[in-house]
Amino acid sequence: MKHFIQIILVLACLPVIVNAQKELRFNNIDSLFSYADKNSSVMKTNDKQTLLAKYQKIAAVANVVDFKDPVTGTLTDNTKLPVSFIPADLLGGPPGTFKEITLGQQYVSNFGIAPQIDIINAGAWAQIRTANINEEITSTNNLLNKKSLYESIAACYYNICSFLEQVEITKKNLAATDTLLLIVNDKYSQGLVRQQDVNDASINKLTLQDKLNQQQVSLEQQYNSLKILCDIPQNVTVVIEAELNYSQQFSADMQPNSQLQLRSYLLQAESARADLRMNRLSNLPVISLVYSDAYYQNSNSQFFDNNPNSKWLNSVFVGAKVTFFLPDVNRIILTNNSKINYQISLINLEHNRLQNDITNNQLQLDYEKAYSQYITSRQVFLLKDENYTMAFNQYKQSILSFYNLLAAFNDKLISRFNYSSALATLLYTKSKIDINNTIK
């Protein structure tokens, strides 16, 4: 009975456990970054690219000696041996004539090993440098991909934070529209206002309700974008629990100093230079050590003949081989192409050197601009909020028209939305600078 009750309890809790597994909660942006590091396709692809670069480096190192170890084995059944002609007088025949003879044996067996090792291969040596640079390029590109992913996640994260707050602001102000509508209806029943004022109050409430619906849809769209960036399944609910911090001070230490993009172009220039050097050195001769150890047997009876007259014979030699490459159009064109690519990479490097400084400066200007907009939007909101409070009191005293009250209400609401958006933009620009200064 006890086990039966335990089973019932487990089954009863199972839906709760399943639902818990279908919800992800994040209380700060770093927790999102950590999740993306483990689950996003961008980071998984980066890991595979790193592994490929390592394998290519290993292959380049192994190619320096280019060890070849061909092992051969052949069994030949000469069903019909070729005919040769020799002077007949060698066999006691009349001079000036030739006699047909058949040379060779029917069954021929050969087994051998012939390793070869390059001891001087300048082109292969140069390829190691190319592989090393390509590994650094892969690492740098992976960091660039990570930086781009983090920036996109940060944009979604702060948009979500802003929309979440705007939804709450709209809900609170919807309650205020209900209050306005009740006041207008009360005044209308007393004959103090027109039907148009009642209609305007109703329109204002409907408009704000539609605004709330649009915000909720936009919020869901941002959540979907975040799921795509972090590779979160569609059936998983994502919850952002963070709140926007309105206590923001200007930080003079927010100085962008990212050199990652510049390093990428610098490595590309080095890679093009190494590729040019490799193509040039590949035209030099290659010196190799060669060795051969072969066993063979000839027989007219069968393969692997045990007859003492059909012995296995051994042939061994050691030597050196020099391989020269004659002028080749394709090699010449490849070298010239490498030279042009190197020149192009130098042009791109100089351009990016200038662009990198400007980009860092642009990030600094974006931060200063965002902070200025944040301060301005806060001041505007405080003034608009004060104006609405005064307008509301004046309307209750029948000093101000309902049209002017609605204008003050909407101005206050819009300024509050702008205040929230300005803060989200400021936090995003700060996060973007942090990302650029951290990932390097």
Instruction: Give the H or E element holding residue 293.
Output: strand 286-299
Q: CA-CA-CA-CA torsion for 424, 425, 427, 428, nearest 10 degrees? A: 110
How far does Cα 352 stand from its chain's mean position? Answer: 21
- According to the model, what pLDDT value does residue 12 have? 54
Residue-wise pLDDT for 275-302, tens only, equals 988 888 888 888 888 888 888 888 777 8
- According to the model, what pLDDT value does residue 21 have? 52
How far does Cα 439 stand from its chain's mean position? Answer: 14
Domains by residue range for the chain, with CATH: 24-68+120-285+329-438 (1.20.1600.10)
Residue-wise pLDDT for 83-102, tens only, equals 777 787 776 777 878 777 77
Residue 70 has phi, psi (to 5 degrees) of: -75, 125
In the numeric block, the tokens 């709760």 are attached to 16
Instruction: Give the H or E element holding residue 26.
Output: strand 23-26
In the numeric block, the tokens 């409430």 are attached to 205
Pair of tokens at residue 58:
């290993």
Closest by CA to 260, choosing from 128, 360, 111, is 360
Pair of tokens at residue 297:
């047997």
Residue type, 393: N
Low-confidence ranges of the chain (pLDDT < 70): 1-21, 91
pTM beyond 0.85, yes or no: no
Paired strand residues for 98: 87
- According to the model, what pLDDT value does residue 64 have? 77
Planar angle of CA 245, 251, 254, nearest 5 degrees = 110
Pair of tokens at residue 340:
């042009």
